[in-house]
Amino acid sequence: MEGPSESSVPTGIAPSGQVGSSGPLSTTTEYPEPFIINPTTSHTHTIILLHGRGSNGLKFGTEFTTSNTSTGETLQRIFPSTKWIFPTAKKRRAVLFKRMPINQWFDIMDINNQSYREHLQVDGLQETTEFLHSLIEQEIRNGIPVERIVVGGLSQGCASSLYAMLCYKWRLGGYIGMCGWLPFAEYAESFLNTSSSADGIEDDDIFGTSDDEEGTAFTKNEEADGTQERATKDPIAEAIGFLKDNISFPRSQEDKLLVLQTPVFLGHGVLDEKVLFQLGEQARDLLKGLGFNITWKGYSDLGHWYKIPDEIDHIRDFIIDRCSRY
């Protein structure tokens, strides 16, 4: 329902030129006004959800908030004190579509082959991270505690909000992601895997080296120096540090990674042809490796959308059970 712009390379469409060869990637300097549904009672919570590539806040927000649970109620009715914010992405030139401007949080050539021209994602992820953080900070200034603010999104909105959440400094009330992925996940994974590899090397040295193998042991240690040096650092902090460095987002010496305490819901359709189910699993596994407490739902008969009413039920339950002070 997000249209062809979320798909892999369509037949007959090829990119022309290199990124930046015929003008800037972003065609506007300001984000459109978000679609907002105000609470019907005293405002206690805020939920900010980002749409998929090629959509907009009004379309996504209207459809999402009018989707019924199995009891026939909508999330808007169930949570009357919640303010819903559905931002709209800037018009950015999509290299995949001959640099045609579309609403997208960042540019990407092929969702299911992200290593191909992966640099296209960086500028948009940087801007979207700053933009989403500014929306969070505005709600805090409006009097909503950070632990009562939930963020998330669908598809590319999930990818960009997930990246932005990992770069945030405080624990949020919750995160809700649907049919998405985490950009540059494989690089963040490498920091966690390096730590495991170093542990294995150390075990081999302890149990596999006898007194008459000192020369061999020395050689092993020499070869492993680089791996062990990385492993002495906190692999979780280094993984998140990479994500920040990747978009030139400043690290903080006082960063206690409080965001890792944010409860996370991820749902994904097994039949998703646009963002493969395996990419959702990869994001899930990385977040678990970072220490997040994950609620994961896979929907066997679902493609690229959210499951009605099942997933709406699950999101309702997640908000009630896991998000702070609901």
Q: What is the pLDDT of residues 119-141, one digit of tens each?
A: 999 999 999 999 999 999 999 99
In the three-class reduction of DSSP (H, G, I as helix; E, B as strand; rest coil), residue 264 is classed as strand
Which residue pairs from 133-139 have beta carbons closer than 8 angstroms and sit at least 24 positions apart in sequence? 133/164, 133/167, 133/168, 135/34, 135/48, 135/85, 135/87, 136/48, 136/168, 136/172, 139/46, 139/48, 139/83, 139/85
Which are the contacts of 138, defined by CB distance < 8 A and separation ≥ 6? none
Residues 203 and 312 grouped into a single domain = no
Average pLDDT over residues 70-84: 97
Average pLDDT over residues 260-289: 97
**b (16+ CB within 10 A) / e for 160-181:** bbbbbbbbbeebbbbbbbbbbb
Split at pLDDT 50, 70, 90, the class of 113 is confident
CA distance 264 to 183: 17
pLDDT digits (tens, 9 = 90+) for 16-48: 222 222 233 344 568 999 999 999 999 999 999
The residue to which tokens 């984000």 are assigned = 31
What domain count does the chain have?
A: 2
Residues 260 and 301 grouped into a single domain = yes
Residue 220 has pLDDT above 90, yes or no: no
CA distance 307 to 301: 9
Q: 10 Å Cβ neighbour count for 68?
A: 14
Residues 259 and 192 grouped into a single domain = no
User: How many CA atoms lie within 13 Å of 307's alpha carbon, on the beta-carbon side?
Assistant: 21
Yes or no: say if 191 and 312 are a contact pair by the CB < 8 Å rule.
no
pLDDT digits (tens, 9 = 90+) for 181-216: 999 999 999 999 865 544 443 433 333 333 333 333
CA distance 180 to 159: 5
Torsion region of 14: left, alpha or beta (phi above 0 gives left; psi -120 to 50 gives alpha): beta
Residues 122 and 97 grouped into a single domain = yes
Q: 10 Å Cβ neighbour count for 184?
A: 18
Residues 277 and 205 grouped into a single domain = no
CA distance 47 to 136: 10
Domain range enclosing 230? 188-236
Q: Is the peptide bond before 309 cis (omega within 30 degrees of 0)?
A: yes
pLDDT for 212:
38
Query: Per DSSP, what are the bridge partners of residue 249?
Result: none
Choose the final residue of a domain: 205, 221, 236: 236
Tell me which residue of 157, 160, 164, 163 sits closest to 178, measured CA to CA: 157
Choose the final residue of a domain: 197, 215, 236: 236
Residues 284 and 302 grouped into a single domain = yes
Residues 75 and 25 grouped into a single domain = yes
Q: What is the CATH number of the domain that holds 121?
A: 3.40.50.1820
Residues 56 and 141 grouped into a single domain = yes
Tell me which residue of 191, 120, 106, 115 sits closest to 153, measured CA to CA: 106
Residues 217 and 313 grouped into a single domain = no
Choose the final residue of a domain: 202, 236, 270: 236
Residues 274 and 174 grouped into a single domain = yes
Q: Kindly state the percentage of the chain with pLDDT values over 90.
A: 70
Residues 264 and 192 grouped into a single domain = no
Residues 120 and 205 grouped into a single domain = no
Average pLDDT over residues 297-311: 98
CA distance 228 to 293: 28
User: How many CA atoms lie within 13 Å of 51's alpha carbon, on the beta-carbon side?
Assistant: 28
Distance of CA 117 to the CA centre of its chain: 19
